[in-house]
Amino acid sequence: MTRKPYVREIPNTWWLKNNFYKAYMMREISSVFITIYSVVLLVGFFRLYQGPEAYQGWLEALQNPWSIAASVVMLLSTLYHSISWFKLAPQAMPLQFGKIRVIPGLVVGLHYLAFLAILAVVFFAISL
Amino acid sequence: MPDEQFEIDILRYRPETENEPVMQTYTIPYVRDWSVLDALNHIKDNLDGTLSYRWSCKMAVCGSCGMMVNGEPKLSCNTFLRDYHPGKITVEPLAHFPIERDLIINMDSFMEKLEKIKPYLIPTEEKPLADGEHLQSPDELMKYKQYSMCINCLLCYSACPEFGLEPDFLGPAALSLALRYNLDSRDNGQDQRTRIANTDKGVWPCMFVGSCSEVCPKHVNPASAIQQTKITSTIEWYKNVLMPRGSEAGGND
């Protein structure tokens, strides 16, 4: 019997094959936008340290139309990132206490609850 | 009533005469009950006896008949023509494995990986037969039962892009089996298996794409198994670094 196993190449566009892979790539790419936004925030902290004029300059830079458009993109990226990871959280931590298995929905729900609680704290702190 | 027809494209490969796989189209009668496996059997019995493929139980428990149907890894016995009709289907061998002939792939690398993770009970100490059986409660069984349902069909490996890009990755099924034994109350081999899983070809190539769990016909949820193993591996690593055990040489890896 002639054996000549044929190995198929994986193209760089493998992730375009179906929606599941595309959604995964979007999740991964969202990290890039989150990193960029973190840098923007760090710059803001630095400007705050540099004094009121520098901080004012940073605030104004954020208000031009391009910055606002970029912020919208970064916000949507961050939300997509968080929602997709919250959805996956029960898979990383299947909880079972004796006979009782914690339903995945509860784990996801607690994540959102914590998210909203932290959001509330941050808004409260900013409004002070 | 005219008999309806159905078209199937199958990726053929005959190593003795070809250098590359070739697509071949077959036209078969459309029977509403038929699975893709029934279609393949019809082709082999009536149209082309040279078509080669694996199958056995016809009921999604043996794991033999895995193949790509319209680009998705499926069990041919569990995939039905009526879900694609009207239309046509393209059948190819399981992705990410070398093709031996037609729809038959080489799974030697997977068999090696299964052996690597020590798929057997490693008890604390050997119990003499006279002592009787290991006793296990239903709760203890529930902890690992899901991960024991794997039928080694390799659909998860075909779905996993990381395995496609890194063929040495242990992969979803092997790591699920490792967790099945780690979670078994009768077993005490976690350390040995964690050492194998906690490597750059162990759990760490996994990027939690999650398509392995999407395609698993037995709902084993290998993605969950791997993430759990990542957590325990990381905790073990920190334990070894912060509290190196005297019996292990230095605690340096």
> For residue range A60-87, what is the model confidence (pLDDT) as tens digits?
999 999 999 999 999 999 999 999 999 8
Closest-approach residue (CA) in chain B for A20: B211
Closest-approach residue (CA) in chain B for A12: B165
Q: State how far residue A77 is from chain B, nearest Cα, in angstroms.
A: 17
Grade residue B166 by pLDDT with cuts at 50, 70 and 90: very high
Domains and CATH numbers, chain A: 15-127 (1.20.1300.10)
pLDDT over threshold 50, residue B247: no
Helices (H), B7-145: 36-42, 108-116, 138-145
Grade residue B249 by pLDDT with cuts at 50, 70 and 90: very low
Return the structure tokens found at B208.
């939690």
Q: Which of A64-68, A78-82, A91-95, B61-65 has the highest average model confidence (pLDDT)?
A: B61-65
CATH class of B5-105: alpha beta
**Alpha-carbon distances of A103 from A83, A90, B149, B169, B210, rounded to whole Å:** 18, 8, 20, 31, 19
pLDDT of residue B75: 98
Return the structure tokens found at B138.
């239903």
pLDDT of residue B2: 56
Strand intervals (E) in chain A:
96-97, 100-101
Q: Is the distance from CB of B250 to CB of B244 less than 8 angstroms?
A: yes
- Select from B139, B147, B160, B212 the residue whose CB has the most chain A CBs within 10 Å, as the one to mutate to test that interface: B139
Q: Is the distance from CB of A91 to CB of B179 less than 8 angstroms?
A: no
**Intervals of CATH 1.10.1060.10 along chain B:** 108-242
Of A4, A7, A21, the CB nearest to B15: A4
- The domain B108-242 is placed in CATH, from the list 3.40.190.10, 3.40.50.10860, 1.10.1060.10, 3.40.50.1000, at 1.10.1060.10
Return the structure tokens found at A60.
């104004």
Cβ separation A91–B210 shorter than 8 A: yes
- pLDDT for A4-63, tens place per residue? 999 999 999 999 989 999 999 999 999 999 999 999 999 999 999 999 999 999 999 999
- pLDDT for B13-56, tens place per residue? 999 999 999 999 999 999 999 999 999 999 999 999 999 999 99
Strand intervals (E) in B94-234:
99-101, 104-105
pLDDT over threshold 90, residue A128: no
- pLDDT for B90-118, tens place per residue? 999 999 999 999 999 999 999 999 999 99
Cα separation, B98 vs B19, in Å, equals 13
**Intervals of CATH 3.10.20.30 along chain B:** 5-105
How much of chain B, in percent, has pLDDT values that exceed 90?
86
Q: What is the value of pTM for the model shown?
A: 0.90
Chain B residues with beta carbon closer than 8 angstroms to that of A24: 207, 209-211
Q: In A, what residues contact B, Cβ < 8 A?
A: 2-8, 10, 14-15, 17-18, 20-21, 24, 28, 88, 91-94, 96, 98-99, 101
